Amino acid sequence: MNKQSLRNVWAIYTRELAGYFGSPVAYVFIVIFLLLLGFFTFYVSNFFEFGQADLRGFFQWHPWVFVILVPAVAMRLWAEEQRLGTIELLLTFPVSLPQIMLGKFLSAWSFLGIALLLTFPMVFTVIYLGQPDMGGVISGYLGSFLLAGAFLSVGQMTSSMTRSQVVSFILAVVISLFLILAGYPPVNAVLNGWGAPMVLVNLISDLSFLTHFISMQKGIIDLRDVLYFASVIGFMLFAGAVVIQNRRIA
Amino acid sequence: MAMIEIKNLTKFFGAYKAVDDVSFTVKKGEILGFLGPNGAGKSTTMRMITGFIPPSAGTALIGGCDIIEDSLAAREKLGYLPENAPVYPDMTVVRYLDFCARIRGFVEPERSRKVEETLEKCFLTEVTYQSIDTLSKGFKQRVCFAQSILHDPEYLILDEPTDGLDPNQKHEVRQMIRQMSPQKVIILSTHILDEVDAVCSRAIIIANGRIVADATPDALRAQSPSHGAVCVTVGAAAPEPLIQQLTQIEGVKTTEVLAQSDGDLKLRVYPQSDTTVIADSVVASLMQGDVAVKSVFVEQGRLDEVFRNITSNSH
Ligand SMILES: Nc1ncnc2c1ncn2[C@@H]1O[C@H](COP(=O)(O)OP(=O)(O)O)[C@@H](O)[C@H]1O
Ligand SMILES: [Mg+2]
């Protein structure tokens, strides 16, 4: 990447990020995100009664909260440009499509990262409760951030397909849900019960976000998991670019 | 060589041919008016020239750079004002222009200077810090126009640049376009005929996706049926004898009554051909009679007549 490419990505990135924080929706999103996680962690997981000084009861809910909230963050990325017609200027600026995709993605990902960082009181709580495995906490957060990025890339792809934010949202939720459920142990058990060969069941669950996410909660940062998320993100950004390139504007 | 070359541009939407084999070249200093009724294919052509939609066939060269093969280089040279002036509503004017300046590769301190200069040039200083969604239609249009000229592009594509502006604003924008034109290649689309007269050095009329005329506004006007006709207003008189008298003149084809009121009689005398000059003999003939001549003028022809003729024939 040369200097101007970086400048272009940066220009798109800052514009989008300012867009997030310039609208009240962003703050509403963060509040809902924190409330949902708090509710699940403290009321459903019974965090305190568990009496354990680790964050598993907190992280385990992230996929289910993300599956609803991340598509909501992603839906405006392209749908809004198409609705406003600003896509016509964006795509005729001397900026390449990968630069635009990357700038948009990184800005929304940063926003999700900030929301994630705001859960820091959880970390203090476990430190207060006992001697948490800090490695586990860090790899848990990293896994959660990567998971958010993967959901986001799916959402950006569906957003590029339509000018309607609602359609984008629904598509993203459906695809994301599918990608979680493929690795959800109860679902795998059902597949096994139907007599599906073990190899197939393992393959399906290997393709799931959940399998790799859970693996990262164990306190080990496995390069394969990181690579998995990176390739999902890369693939989805590429798919989004292809959709935009071949869009039939109305 | 500074020019835009359009080569056989064609666009199908499904089976519908919106643009049909359009070719032309525009040189530096020219302001090309792209004229046509709604739905003629003006915007579609401009979207292909600027690289927004891929043509079904043909291409456009912007200063020698192919908009398909060498898209980024071609886009760098272009300034584009799309139809309806789309701008991000949640940004302030200055932030939006700063964003565009970054994209165009300006770095500080030049970037701020460019933005400021453009704000002034487009009469936007009073709304510098205003959020775009609170602006009136005219101001939004000007913000988008500002974006298109910020980097002082050599090639300017303007899709209905004065759409939705009031007469004063229209005048300002046209003046700006005229002032910039010596160093630039400008293509602007419009369905307002006055605009062609006011700013364009050349006009292309397009109907149903095809070019049906390509000439200077004056040459187009000369195709008007009323071109060269003599209009006279005389004091009250019976029309019939006067018509007979005028139609007998050498070179006159017909005479028609335009208006008749209690005081005045207004006539239009048509020559037999475009090139016949009849003004002098019409005046001489009128002087012989005993009617009071109140006004005489030679019609230049009317663009709207030509426009209507050309665009309705092509159906
Ligand atoms: N994306 C599209 N899909 C289908 N038809 C289109 C599309 N864009 C334009 N058209 C059609 O192409 C024709 C030309 O449109 P346009 O170029 O916008 O005309 P103009 O700008 O001259 O008013 C119209 O009949 C319009 O309905
Ligand atoms: Mg149009």
* Predicted local distance difference test score (pLDDT) of residue B241: 77
Is the CB of A92 less than 8 angstroms away from the CB of B52? yes
Contact B68, B54 (CB under 8 A): yes
Q: Where in chain B is the domain with CATH 3.30.70.1340?
A: 230-299
The pLDDT value given to residue B301: 74
Residues near ligand 1 (Cβ within 6 A)? A 249-250; B 13, 18, 36, 38-44
pLDDT at A47: 63
**Boundaries of every domain in chain A:** 3-249
Confidence of residue A250 (pLDDT cuts 50, 70, 90): very low
- Residue A237 CA to residue B71 CA, distance in Å, equals 21
Q: Looking at beta carbons, which residues of chain A come within 8 Å of B130?
A: none
* Conformation bin of residue A51: beta by default, left when phi > 0, alpha when psi is -120 to 50: left
Chain B residues in contact with A96 (beta carbon < 8 A): 72
pLDDT at A138 over 60: yes
Q: Residue B11 Cα, ligand 1 centroid: separation in angstroms? A: 10
May I ask the CATH class of domain B230-299? Answer: alpha beta
CA-to-CA dists, residue A127 to A39, A53, A121, B49, angstroms? 20, 7, 10, 62
Q: Are B40 and B208 in contact (CB under 8 A)?
A: yes
pLDDT at A48: 62
* Mean per-residue pLDDT pooled into runs of 10, chain B (315 residues): 90 92 93 91 95 92 92 94 93 95 92 94 92 92 94 94 87 90 92 84 91 85 78 78 79 81 81 78 78 81 76 63
**Average pLDDT taken over every residue of chain A:** 85
Residue A131's contacts (CB-CB under 8 Å, 6 or more residues apart) are A53
Mutation for testing the B interface, residue in A2, A20, A92 having most B CBs under 10 Å = A92
| Predicted pLDDT of residue B25 | 94
**What is the Cα–Cα distance from B20 to B25, expressed in whole angstroms?**
16
- Percentage of chain A beyond pLDDT 70 is 94
Question: For residue range A68-107, what is the model confidence (pLDDT) as tens digits?
Answer: 999 999 988 888 898 999 999 999 999 999 999 999 999 9
The answer to whether A1 contacts chain B (CB < 8 Å) is no
pLDDT tens digits for range A150-191: 999 999 999 988 888 899 899 999 998 888 887 777 777 777
Give the pLDDT confidence score for residue A248 in this predicted structure.
Answer: 55
Structure tokens at B237: 């008189």
- pLDDT tens-digit profile of A114-129? 999 998 888 888 777 7
Instruction: Judge: domain B3-221, CATH 3.40.50.300.
Output: yes
pLDDT of residue B91: 93
Show residues of chain B in contact with A85, CB under 8 Å: 82, 84, 86
* Average predicted confidence (pLDDT) for chain B: 87
